[in-house]
Amino acid sequence: MTPYPWHRAALERLLADRTRLPHALLVQGRSGIGKSEFAKALANAVLCESPKGAFACGTCSSCHWFSQGNHPDYREVIPEAAEEDAEGEAETAKADTKKSVVIKIDQIRAQADFISLSTHRAGLRVLVIRPAEAMHPGAANALLKTLEEPPPSTLIVLVSDQPARLLPTIRSRCRALVLPMPVEAEALAWLKAEGVEDPRTALAVAGGAPLLARDLAAPEEMQLRRKVLAELSRASGAEPLTFAERIDRPALDRTVYWMQTWVHDLMRVRAGASVRHHVDLVPAAQAKARAADPERLYDLERELRAARRLASHPLNARLLAEHLLMSYNRATSGTR
């Protein structure tokens, strides 16, 4: 497992002295920059029997097990819903079973034997928990007990986009590692290598996060973006009832994301700054920003952030989309 180019230096600094690794590490940073992949590359390098500096050799028995996903000294805890996504569509017989979007207490307790028994290779064991902010309060408290009395030969890696949502007592018992965003040239080169047709636009709409940019460049994502921004750019205002009828639950989160980035651009233009995200739609953003009310834009931005947190929970996608579009119209109508 090789880290992304923009994270190699961070991995080298961390593993410069393997004898001083912390018992718990909190890997944090912007969404879409490859934090989970960094955690896996770290685990691979720590478990490798013949490491090449800060990186795994890729050829030893340990690396082979790791690449096959069955290393005896490595565990990863993620929400059930994420497990299903990783494995593809669920079996038809299980289609009606609602998968949890949180990490349950039983998932943390199930790691007790793993972290208490001797390691298989007489080295370290690694437990990765991601996203750490998805832990249920009971799961967080169960993990806290482990962090308070860290077991020997164990590295616990928490990965988080939103570390402020973690218990302060958990954060205080981990060494924080903030992963940097890549410089633009490095991100663009990587996106070009990934076959992204318009890497500059993709990187801009992703706020500089390369992995998110690659995902957003997918044809179905670009199609949804065009539909949402065409609606938001209408001179006469969006049509909430008509547009919301076409929004289903799978598209809700990304629809809210496109609204967030568009509103952020309007706020920047109102403040005299340049468009950050939708650099291919500058005239449209400037036109909408001229009539927008700054105070209402800030209120809408907070409302959209709250909506992103709700998007993965059971709710009526159409009603939420209607409500947000109505709020958008009020913020950009030019009237109080």
Q: What is the mean pLDDT of residues 277-303?
A: 95
Q: What is the mean pLDDT of residues 228-234?
A: 96
- Domain 5-178 CATH assignment equals 1.25.40.10: no
- Domain 218-332 CATH assignment equals 1.10.3470: no
Distance between CA atoms of residues 56 and 49, nearest Å: 8
pLDDT of residue 308: 82
Angstrom CA distances, 183 to 4, 5, 6, 10, 180, stand at 12, 11, 8, 14, 9
Q: What is the mean pLDDT of residues 287-298?
A: 95
The neighbour count for residue 329, using CB atoms within 10 Å, is 16
For the chain, the structural domain boundaries read 5-178, 218-332
* Predicted confidence (pLDDT) per residue in 167-183, tens digit: 999 999 999 999 999 99
- Residue 72 phi/psi, 5-degree rounding, is -70, -15
* Three-state helix/strand/coil letters over 208-228: CCHHHHHHHCCHHHHHHHHHH
State the pTM of this model. Answer: 0.86
Q: Strands (DSSP E) along the chain, which ranges?
A: 24-28, 74-77, 125-129, 154-160, 175-178
* Predicted confidence (pLDDT) per residue in 170-217, tens digit: 999 999 999 999 999 999 999 999 999 999 999 999 999 999 999 999
Q: Which residue has the tokens 């952030």?
A: 305
